[in-house]
Structure 1
Amino acid sequence: MGIAVTGSIATDHLMTFPGRFTDQLLADRLDRVSLSFLVDQLEIRRGGVAANISFGLGLLGLRPVLIGAVGSDFEPYRVWLKQHGVDTDSVRVSTELHTARFLCTKDRAQNQIATFYAGAMAEAREIDLGSVIRRTGRLSLVMISPDDPEAMTRHTRACRKLGIPFAADPSQQLARLDGPEALELISGARWLFTNEYEAALLQERTGLTQQQILNKVGCWVTTHGAQGVRLERTGHDPLAVPAVEVPGAVDPTGVGDGFRAGFLAGLAWGVPEQHAAQLGCAVAATVLDYVGTQEYRLYRDSLVSRLRMSYGPECVAHLTAHLRELT
C-alpha cells in the first residue's frame, strides 16, 4: 500500500527564559512594548505534521512519500528523514523562502510567547499530485494533513479527480477555514481525523451535525487524549479503543502524529481497524516517553509488550508478523 503524506514540514526553535514575562511588563506602557529576553536554553527540533507522520511510518517499515514545501535549508532534515525510511523526492524546495519555523519562548511559570513563520509552506500549493504519482506509481492512500490551505484544497480535489482514497486531517488549520472550505476538505474522505475539540469546531464551522458529517466520510477517528480513540461510521456502532497508560509522560508534543502513523501502518497491513487503532495508541504512548516529535524509537519487544498488556493476545496475533523488521 503506497501512502503519501501531504502537509507541513518545519523546525521548532524552543527557548527558555529563567524569569517571568509578567515581571517585565509595565501596566501603563502596554501600548508600546519593546522587550528582549535573554534566554539560557535553546532546543532545535525537527517537526511539521506531515514530516512527523512520515517519520513514524518509516520507523514501522513503510516507505511513505512526503509531500510539502521547504527552503534550501532543508538538506540536513532531508538526510535525517531518508535515513528513517521516508521518500522525500517529492518535496518542493523554494529558491526564496526558508523552511517553516515555530519559535517559542517559555518562562519559569510556563507562559509562552510564540511565533510561527510559514515561509516556504506557502509554495505547497504549487505541488501537482499527478506528477508525484507519475514518479512513484499509483498511491493507495493520500493523507492530507495541515498545510497551506490552498494546497490542502488542491490535493483534495486531485484525489477526487484521480480516484485516490484520501484521509482528511484539517486539525490546526480549522481555525482559518470557513464552512465551505472545511466541508470541501472532508467530503468523500475515507478517513477523517480530529481531536475532541476539533470535532466540535468542525461542526461549528460547517453548521452540520455529527451525523451529517459522518454521512460525508467513511470513518471519523476522534482522539481523546488519555481517554483513547473513538471510531465512528454510519450504520455501525462506535468503536472505542482505550489509550495505553503512560506513567510519567515526558512530552505530549507529536503524540497525535504518532497515533496517525501507527493507525495508517495498520491499515496498510490490512489488519482490522480496531487493531490498527491499538497500534496507533501504542506508538503514541512511545512518543510520550521522549522529548520531541522525532526522537523516539520503536523496538519490537517493548512495542509488543505494550500491545499485549493493554489489548491482549488477539491484538498481538494480528500485528506481530508486521513488526518483525523492528529491532
Structure 2
Amino acid sequence: MRIAVTGSIATDHLMVFPGRFAEQLIKEQLERVSLSFLADDLVVRRGGVGANIAFGMARLGLDPVLVGAAGVDFADYREWLTAAGVDTAAVRVSQRLHTARFVCTTDRDQNQIATFYAGAMSEASRIDLADVAASAGPLGLVLVGADDPAAMVRHTAAAHALGVAVAADPSQQLARLDRDQARELVAGAAWLFTNAYEAALLSERTGWSRDEILRRVGTWVTTLGEDGVSLAAAGRPDQHVPAVPAQAIADPTGAGDAFRAGFLAGVARELPLEAAAALGCVMATTVLESVGTQEYKLLPAEALTRLAAAYGSPTADAVRPVLDGAA
C-alpha cells in the first residue's frame, strides 16, 4: 500500500525547563500571564508532523509520499528525508517563506508549552492531491495531518473524490478549526487519530457526541500516553492496548507521530489491529527515549524483545515481518 502523508514540515527548537510550570502560575493572575522560563538545554531538530510520520514509515520499510510545503531553507532537510527513504517530490518549496518553526519547552513533569510559526506551511493549500496521485502512482491511503487548515480540508475532499481511504489526524490544529471544517475532516475517515484531550475537543468542535463520531468513521484510535491506546468502532467493544514501558523518558516530542507511523505501517502490512497498535506503541516508546523526533535508533531485535515482554510472543511474531524491513 502506497501512503501519502500530508502535514506540516518544520524545524523543532526544543528546550528543557528544570522546574514545574504549575509552580509559576498564579491562579488569580491567569488573565495576565507574563512569564519567562530559564531553560537548561536547547536542541534544534528536524520535525513537523507530516515529516515525522513519513520518516517513521520509511524506517519501517514503506515508501511514503510526503505532501506539504517547506521554505527556502529546505534543501538540507530534503536531503535528510530522501536518504531515509521518504519520497519528497510532492513537497512544495516556497520562494519567499521559511520552513515552519516549532518552539517547545518541556518541564520536569513532561508538561509542554509550545509556539508554532506556520511560515511556508501557509502555501500547503496550493498542492493538488490529484496531481500527486498521478505522479506517485496509485495511493492506498492518505493521512491528513496537522497542516494549514485550508490544505487539510482540500486534501480530505480530494482523497474522497479519488476514492482513496483517509486517516484523519487533526491533532494540534483542532483549536483552529471551525465546526464545518472539523466535520469535513472527520466524516468518512477510515481512521481517526486523537489523544485523550483532543477526543474531547473534537466533540466540542464538531458538535457530535462520541457515538455520532463513531458512526461516521471506521476506527477511532485514541492515544493515552503511558496508558497505551484505545481502538473504538461502532458496533464493537473498545479494545485497549497497553503502552510499551519506557526505560527513561528523554523527550515526549514526536511520540504520537511515531505511533501513527508504526500503526499505519502495520495496517499497510495487513497486521491485526492490536498488533498494529503494538507496533505503534513500541515506535512511540523508542522516540520517548530519544531527544528529537527523527534522531532515534530503531533496532529490530530490541523492538521484538520489548514487544514480546509487553504483549507476548504471538504479537511479536506477528509484527516481526514489518520490523525485518526496518532500516
Q: Tell me if both proteins adopt one fold, taking TM over 0.5 as the criterion.
A: yes
Residue 187 of structure 1: CA displacement?
0.3
What is residue 241 of structure 2 aligned with on the other side?
241
Gaps of 5+ in 1: 24-29
CA deviations 1:243-291 (Å, max 9, x no partner) are: 1111321111111001000000000101111110011011111111101
- 2:74–2:99 Cα contact (<8 Å) kept: yes
Distance 1:213 1:16 in 2: 37
What is the aligned partner in structure 2 of residue 289 from structure 1? 289
1:275-286 mapped onto 2 (5 Å cutoff): 275-286=275-286
Q: 1:16 to 1:229 in 2, by over 3 A?
A: closer
State the partner residue of 1:266: 266
Name the aligned partner's letter for residue 126 of structure 2: E
In 1, distance between residues paired with 2:282 and 2:19? 37
Cα distance change of structure 1 residues 111 and 326 upon mapping to structure 2, 3 Å threshold: closer
Taking the aligned partners of 2:208 and 2:15, their CA distance within structure 1 comes to: 41
Superposition deviation, residue 41 in structure 1: 5.0
Partner of 2:169: 169
What letter is aligned with 1:54? A
1:208-257 C-alpha deviation (Å, 9 max, x unpaired): 11100000001100011111101011111111101111132111111100
Structure-2 change in CA distance of 1:222 and 1:95 (3 Å):
same
Pairing 1:135-214 to 2, within 5 Å after superposition: 135-214=135-214
SS for the counterpart of 1:72 is: coil
* CA–CA separation in structure 1 for the residues paired with 2:316 and 2:109: 43
Structure 2, unpaired ranges of 5+: 25-30
- Structure 2 match to 1:26: none
Asked whether the 8 Å contact 2:247–2:289 carries over to 1, the reply is no
CA distance in 2, matches of 1:202, 1:241: 22
Q: Distance in 1 between matches of 2:294 and 2:117?
A: 20
Alignment check: 8 A CA contact 1:69 1:91 kept: yes
Cα displacement (A) at 1:325: 2.9
- Distance in 2 between the 1:325 and 1:218 partners? 28
> Percent of aligned pairs with the same residue?
59
CA 1:224–1:18 in structure 2 vs 1: closer, same or farther (change >3 Å)? closer
| 2:133 corresponding residue in structure 1 | 133
Q: Which residue of 1 aligns with 2:92?
A: 92
**1:204–1:274 distance in 2 versus 1, CA, 3 Å:** same
- 1:53 counterpart residue number: 53
Check 1:300–1:104 CA distance in 2 against 1; reply closer, same or farther (3 A cut).
closer
* SS, match of residue 199 in structure 1: helix
Q: Which residue is equivalent to 2:27?
A: none
Root-mean-square deviation (Å): 2.6
Could you tell me which amino acid in structure 1 is paired with residue 139 of structure 2?
Answer: L
Contact 1:244 1:281 in 2 (8 A): yes
CA separation in 2, counterparts of 1:50 and 1:70?
11
Paired AA for residue 279 in structure 1:
L
Map of 1:59-98 to 2, 5 A cutoff?
59-98=59-98
Supply the AA of the counterpart residue of 1:285. Answer: T
CA gap 1:117/1:276 in 2 versus in 1, 3 angstroms: same
CA contact (8 A) 1:59 1:297 kept: no
In 1: Cα distance, 2:86 partner to 2:209 partner: 38
Secondary structure of the residue aligned to 2:44 is strand
Alpha-carbon distance between aligned partners in 1 of 2:109 and 2:130, rounded to the nearest angstrom: 49
Quickly say closer, same or farther: Cα 1:75–1:311, change in 2 above 3 A: same
Contact 1:62–1:265 at 8 Å: present in 2 too? yes
Report matched runs for 1:305-324 at 5 Å: 305-324=305-324
**1:161-202 superposed Cα distances (whole Å, 9 cap, x missing partner):** 111101000111110112221011010000000000100111
Letter in structure 2 aligned against 1:65 = V
Q: 1:72 to 1:230 in 2, by over 3 A?
A: same
SS state at 2:237 partner? coil
Q: Secondary structure at the match of 1:120?
A: helix
